[in-house]
Amino acid sequence: MHLTLNLNLQFSGDFKQAYEVREGDITRGAYSVLQPDGVVRTVRYTVDPKGGFKASVTNTGLGYHPRRVY
């Protein structure tokens, strides 16, 4: 089984990507989201009967905080 999703809504700034592949008892996948601070967070994971669920998380980009306007 293979699943892929890509979403990039420029008018709202929403960005998401995901994929998942299952081969027998092993599932591998990843998903990415654009956080409000501009950083893209990516989670890559593997699931198997022996090792269970294992994930690694990476962040790409420099975060920023919007300047407050009073």
Report yes or no on 67 lying in a domain: no
CA-nearest of 21, 48, 50 to 31 is 21
31-57 mean pLDDT: 93
pLDDT at 60: 92
Query: How many separate domains does the chain show?
Result: 1
Q: 26: domain range?
A: 2-60
Report yes or no on 56 lying in a domain: yes
Query: How does pLDDT run across 9-31, given as a tens digit for each residue?
Result: 666 667 888 889 999 999 999 99
What's the pLDDT band for 56 if we cut at 50, 70, 90?
very high
Report yes or no on 10 lying in a domain: yes
Joined together, the tokens standing for residue 2 give: 């293979």
Q: In this structure, what CATH number is given to the domain that contains residue 42?
A: 2.20.130
Task: Please give the Cα distance from 2 to 34 (Å, whole number).
Answer: 23
What pTM, to 2 d.p., does this model score?
0.74
Strands 14-23, 52-60: pairing is: unpaired
